[in-house]
């Protein structure tokens, strides 16, 4: 018998579950990506805020020094006054106490530079006072500082970037220095006025250690997300596997109920006709022979009346099993109705189907059936056969086989007639 092929809804369910799994995983990955990017943004923002804080502390320190016109510190052997201070008219740079210590002036720029040296030595951060018109060559800007100073002239208020330093990655931050009244004493001769940008302070923060920790956190986070995705995928796979298996079994049961006869297990009339139509079309396209056989149990009502309906059912099931065993896988066998059976044989001529029908008739006639209650009985069948003729429909072919069956019954039953 030909296996019945159909588009199973389990395939749709499988695709649906795969879609759900993909959507869940995509949502998780999207959340992870958002968190990943947010972490980077927070890390950068933290460095920016740190750079701003350092910058403001330096500016406040310089502002205090400028308001007090610098600070005098005790001179030690080898100390020298900043030579650039000597060029400022009326600026006192050294104070001598009679018979005591001497004190030299530290201007804001020099104090800032010395604080930067201490900060760099401690490894916390370092900063650099610079300008496009530096008085001191040591305040000459590097490329990052030059670009920042030029951007300040166009209205930007800060600049930052990551660079590769001598000890790894560093974060650089820079903001402008605005000229105030207290600054003019030292910088008025350069042409600056109150409110002018006379330079800037760049802050360099070591970032290698923090970046390595961030990378480690990202790595473990990535592993965790991948683990969650794998677990969800496996979970959905197990659900899909068992759910689809149960669904397939239920679907197969429904299919059997919809396409087979509940008593004999053969194809029901509707499904039989569906396959016959397909086979009929195939035979016409290929130009190959096709025959139909209609058979009926003789005096079946007498069997039911004499031995009961259970025995009648037993006879029907036994006959169905016998027919199924005698036919090819490609043959179509269905219960036509009551005690009638319809068989369609592809690629079979009228002579072949007549011989087959006769063998079946003799086999049934010679068989002794024994019921569950140990009753023995014999049955006979009448058979009508017909071969497909050019131009006729499948309905006409089946009708001719049915007419041949009628002739066999009218002729005394237990015989084969061809239509």
List, for residues 303-329, the tens digit of each pLDDT value: 999 888 999 999 999 999 999 999 999
- Dig out the tokens for 339 from the structure: 């005690």
- Dig out the tokens for 134 from the structure: 């530096």
Determine what percent of the chain is predicted with pLDDT higher than 90: 38
Calpha distance 195→173 (Å, rounded) = 21
Calpha distance 419→402 (Å, rounded) = 8
pLDDT (mean) for 345-365? 95
pLDDT (mean) for 274-300? 93
pLDDT for 215 beyond 50: yes
pLDDT (mean) for 3-7? 44
User: What is the number of alpha carbons within 13 Å of residue 349 lying toward its C-beta?
Assistant: 2
pLDDT for 72 beyond 60: yes
DSSP state of 331: S
pLDDT score, position 92: 77
The residue ranges of DSSP E strands in 183-304, in sequence order, are 197-206, 290-297
Helix (H, G, I), strand (E, B) or coil at 95: strand
With CA atoms as reference, report the closest residue to 204 among 231, 165, 178, 240. 165
Q: How far is CA 308 from the centre of its chain?
A: 63
pLDDT for 3 beyond 70: no
pLDDT (mean) for 209-234? 87
pLDDT band at 5 (very low <50, low <70, confident <90, very high): very low
DSSP state of 178: E
Say if CB 381 and CB 284 are below 8 A apart: no
All domains of the chain in start order, with CATH = 269-418 (3.30.70.270)
Task: Give 332 or 83, the one with higher predicted confidence.
Answer: 332
pLDDT for 7 beyond 70: no
pLDDT band at 356 (very low <50, low <70, confident <90, very high): very high
pLDDT (mean) for 38-55? 88
- Flag the least confident range among 23-27, 69-73, 360-364: 69-73
pLDDT for 44 beyond 80: yes
pLDDT score, position 63: 80
pLDDT digits (tens, 9 = 90+) for 13-43: 777 778 888 898 889 888 888 888 888 888 8
pLDDT score, position 189: 59
pLDDT band at 401 (very low <50, low <70, confident <90, very high): very high
pLDDT band at 67 (very low <50, low <70, confident <90, very high): confident
pLDDT score, position 416: 96
pLDDT for 346 beyond 90: yes
Q: How many CB atoms lie within 10 A of CB 239?
A: 13
352, burial (CB in 10 Å: exposed 0-12, middle 13-18, buried 19+): middle
pLDDT (mean) for 39-59? 88
pLDDT (mean) for 50-72? 82
DSSP state of 123: T
Calpha distance 144→201 (Å, rounded) = 12
pLDDT for 141 beyond 80: yes
E strand or H helix that includes residue 176: strand 168-178
pLDDT band at 2 (very low <50, low <70, confident <90, very high): very low
With CA atoms as reference, report the closest residue to 160 among 176, 171, 170, 149. 171
Residues 6+ apart with CB under 8 A from 330: 1, 2, 346, 347
Task: Give 240 or 205, the one with higher predicted confidence.
Answer: 205
pLDDT score, position 6: 43
């Amino acid at each position: 018998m030909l296996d019945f092929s159909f588009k199973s809804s389990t395939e749709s369910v499988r695709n649906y579950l795969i879609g759900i799994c993909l959507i869940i995983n995509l949502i998780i990955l999207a959340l992870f990506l958002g968190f990943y990017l947010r972490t980077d943004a927070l890390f950068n923002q933290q460095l920016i805020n740190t750079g701003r804080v350092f910058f403001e502390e330096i500016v406040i320190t310089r502002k205090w020094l400028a308001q007090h016109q610098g600070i005098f510190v005790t001179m030690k052997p080898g100390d020298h006054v900043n030579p650039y201070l000597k060029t400022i008219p009326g600026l006192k740079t050294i104070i001598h106490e009679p018979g005591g210590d001497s004190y030299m002036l530290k201007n804001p720029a020099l104090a800032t530079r010395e604080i930067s040296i201490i900060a760099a030595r401690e490894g916390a951060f370092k900063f650099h006072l610079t300008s496009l018109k530096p008085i001191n060559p040591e305040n000459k800007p590097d490329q990052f500082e030059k670009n920042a100073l030029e951007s300040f002239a166009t209205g930007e208020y800060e600049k930052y970037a990551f660079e590769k330093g001598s000890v790894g990655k560093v974060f650089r931050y820079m903001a402008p220095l605005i000229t105030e009244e207290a600054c003019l004493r030292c910088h008025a001769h350069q042409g600056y006025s109150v409110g002018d940008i006379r330079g800037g302070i760049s802050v360099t923060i070591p970032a290698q250690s923090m970046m390595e920790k961030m990378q480690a956190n990202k790595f473990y986070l990535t592993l965790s997300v991948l683990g969650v995705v794998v677990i969800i995928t496996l979970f959905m796979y197990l659900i899909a596997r068992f759910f689809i298996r149960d669904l397939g079994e239920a679907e197969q049961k429904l299919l059997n109920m919809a396409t087979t006869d509940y008593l004999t297990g053969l194809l029901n009339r509707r499904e039989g006709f569906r396959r016959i139509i397909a086979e009929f079309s195939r035979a016409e396209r290929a130009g190959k022979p096709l025959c139909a056989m209609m058979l009926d149990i003789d005096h079946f009502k007498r069997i039911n009346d004499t031995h009961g309906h259970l025995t009648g059912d037993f006879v029907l099931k036994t006959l169905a099993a016998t027919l199924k065993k005698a036919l090819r896988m490609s043959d179509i066998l269905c219960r036509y109705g009551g005690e009638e059976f319809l068989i369609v044989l592809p690629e079979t001529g009228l002579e072949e189907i007549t011989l087959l029908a006769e063998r079946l008739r003799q086999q049934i006639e010679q068989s002794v059936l024994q019921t569950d209650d140990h009753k023995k009985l014999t049955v006979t069948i009448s058979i009508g056969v017909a071969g497909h003729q050019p131009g006729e429909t499948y309905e006409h072919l089946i009708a001719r086989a049915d007419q041949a069956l009628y002739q066999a019954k009218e002729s005394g039953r237990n015989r084969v007639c061809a239509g």
